[in-house]
Amino acid sequence: MKVDSVEVEFDPREIGNTAEQAEAAGYDGFWVAEAKHDPFVAVAAAAGRTSGIELGTSIAVAFARNPMSTAVLANDLQLLTGGRFNLGLGSQVETHVTKRFGMPWSRPAARMREFVLAMREIWHTWETGDRLRFRGEFSTHTVMTPFFDPGPNPHGPPKVYLAGVGELMTEVAGEVADGFLCHSFTTERYLREITIPALERGRAKAGKPLAGLEISGPSFIATGTTQEAFDRSVAETRRQIAFYGSTPSYRKVLDLHGWGALHDDLHALSRRGRWDEMTAAVDDDVLNAFAVVGDPEHVGAELLARYGDITTRASCHVPHRDDPARWNRVFNALRTG
């Protein structure tokens, strides 16, 4: 299993150094999220400070962009990284797409499927010189003159990873993507009963086996090498679970466990800005369903027990990683387990 480092809240002035440290620590991949800063800028900065580690976005918001601009960005980063770039895309939720980015929203699964197919057609045109003739429901790309054509990429196109929670988006990932990024707000039961069957349906549409798809597993991790660090990590993990649990798009995960009422409570509290009460509403049963909780030596074995037969990559969200030497033993166990 590959073990990846994921950065969500980062300083773009320091991200190159962080990536260099991740490579030195032996991580297989270094992924950056689109939150307060642009993930593509972060990948470019990381490229100049690393030589072998895979670099990726987890995730970049697809619907804040269009297929042509994203295809150009991804192609350039594939060149810049020497073929180490993985383009991880997600849809975000409607409110952020329409009210933060000011972009259209409709039928997200169908839109994402077309988005990826359009990019692949653009990359094909650059590779072969064939005329660009993509006419879709959501975008059309039919002009590519020599001035704007970068030509074949010596490393080929980047791999495309899609993130999803709902069955339709997950099925699209199985059909058109090279990999799937499990959302952190996923439980082992949801992954086995909902996610994997949806990926299998998508792969069947494309005439491919599930075995060819990279699957990057979830998990929140609540741990620490001191009691203070452990308590801090548990509190932060409860807060993250409460935040995601308050979002209507993710209610389906709670519903599977019979926790739909928790979503109602969290959503109501979030609308009133009562964040501390939201965190307190996440009890130990919910915490342990979404997160691996325990000392670092327990984490690797538990992640393998939950996801080792399903996932090919482990993306570990650790709010407070305070003992690198101890964590290296955990990651080595994952890699060899």
Q: What would the two tokens of residue 271 be?
A: 């609308």
Q: What would the two tokens of residue 6 be?
A: 């994921």
Write the CB contacts of 169 (distance below 8 Å, at least 6 apart in sequence): 91, 108, 109, 112, 162
- The pLDDT value given to residue 319: 47
Q: What phi and psi values does residue 53 have, to the nearest 5 degrees?
A: -70, 140
How would you label 205-217 residue by residue, b for 16+ Cβ within 10 Å and e otherwise?
eeeeebeebbbbb
Other CB atoms within 10 Å distance of the CB of residue 292: 23
Distance of alpha carbon 206 from alpha carbon 180, whole angstroms: 15
Q: What phi and psi values does residue 138 have, to the nearest 5 degrees?
A: -110, -20
- The pLDDT value given to residue 320: 45
- Residue 253's nearest CA partner among 188, 195, 313, 186 is 186
- The pLDDT value given to residue 23: 93
| Virtual torsion, Cα 268, 61, 31, 236, nearest 10 deg | -10
Per-residue pLDDT tens over the stretch 50-101: 999 999 999 999 999 999 999 999 999 999 999 999 999 999 989 999 999 9
Per-residue pLDDT tens over the stretch 151-171: 999 999 999 999 999 999 999
Q: What would the two tokens of residue 82 be?
A: 């020497």
- The pLDDT value given to residue 20: 95
How would you label 297-308 residue by residue, b for 16+ Cβ within 10 Å and e otherwise?
eebbbbbbebbb
Q: What is the DSSP string of 240-292?
A: HHHHHHTSGGGHHHHHHTT-HHHHHHHHHHHHTT-HHHHHHT--HHHHHHHEE
More confident residue, 280 or 224: 280
Q: How confident is the model at residue 221 (pLDDT cuts 50, 70, 90)?
A: confident
Model's pTM, two decimal places?
0.93
- The pLDDT value given to residue 75: 98
Per-residue pLDDT tens over the stretch 1-44: 898 989 988 999 999 999 999 999 888 999 999 999 999 999 99
- The pLDDT value given to residue 298: 83
Write the CB contacts of 292 (distance below 8 Å, at least 6 apart in sequence): 219, 220, 221, 222, 223, 298, 299, 302, 303, 306
Question: What is the residue type of 242?
Answer: A
Distance of alpha carbon 293 from alpha carbon 221, whole angstroms: 6
More confident residue, 321 or 134: 134
More confident residue, 164 or 329: 164
Distance of alpha carbon 92 from alpha carbon 60, whole angstroms: 9
Distance of alpha carbon 124 from alpha carbon 120, whole angstroms: 6
